Amino acid sequence: MDGAERLRSGPAAAVRDPRLFEEFYRRHVDAVMRFVARRVDDPHTAADLTAEIFLAVLDSAHSYRPRLGSETAWLYGIARNVVSSERRRMAREAERDLRFSGRRLLEADDIARIEDRLDAESPGRRALAALASLPEGEQAVMELIAVDQLTVTEAAAALGIRQVTARVRLHRARKALRDKADVKAPETEPAARQEKPTSPTGAGAPDPSLFHVARGGARA
């Protein structure tokens, strides 16, 4: 997300030149894979979605505006739409034959590499699960800022909302998380039942580490 990134050929130039597009892909594929790995836990799905995100770039390259944020932030906006679309598709379809029949077979090394990435991003998936109780708009802003490390400006651009709206949603989300984190177990509860919070991937309390992030400041 630094200034040097903007000096390179942007998305619009990349889609017109295969060489530039390959450079664009190599420049961002790791960041996009990390984004996806924070949201899915299957290597084949992660590989498919990463490919779909870069295909979507071909149709969306004209929408990139450097003044609104980095190429990475813009890609996260596209990635979020692709992942959301996939979730809706999976919810609608009981059978997955169509997906498997057209899928590119992954080599063993590919699967191992993606599984390593999925393992590395498991804290991010737990953090995202902890945000599931928030309203959709507040959850979206909090995801991009607290988990994906975008600035408020970049998150607003990725979601297509005003910066002031993003800040309001961020404030509300952090307040809700703080309130939830500050709820203490009753003093009368037996000591034997005073256990550590359940992982946010289950039915217990959200990951305390997320609340630490929620209390921090946001970059403009």
> For residues 97 and 76, what is the distance between their CA atoms, to the nearest angstrom?
29
Flag whether the pTM goes above 0.75: no
pLDDT attached to residue 88 = 78
The position carrying tokens 């037996």 is 190
pLDDT attached to residue 15 = 87
Residue positions counted in the chain: 220
Contacts 24+ apart (CB under 8 A), 135-141: 135/172, 137/169, 138/169, 138/170, 138/172, 138/173, 138/176, 139/173, 140/80, 140/169, 141/166, 141/169, 141/170, 141/173
Nearest to 64 by CA among 37, 24, 31, 34: 24
Q: For residue 211, which amino acid is it?
A: F
- Quick: pLDDT tens for 37-83: 999 888 988 999 999 999 999 989 999 988 888 999 999 999 999 99
Could you give the residue ranges of the DSSP H alpha helices within 150-195? 152-159, 163-181
Is the pLDDT reported for residue 2 higher than 70? no
- Quick: pLDDT tens for 91-119: 666 455 555 555 556 677 777 788 777 77
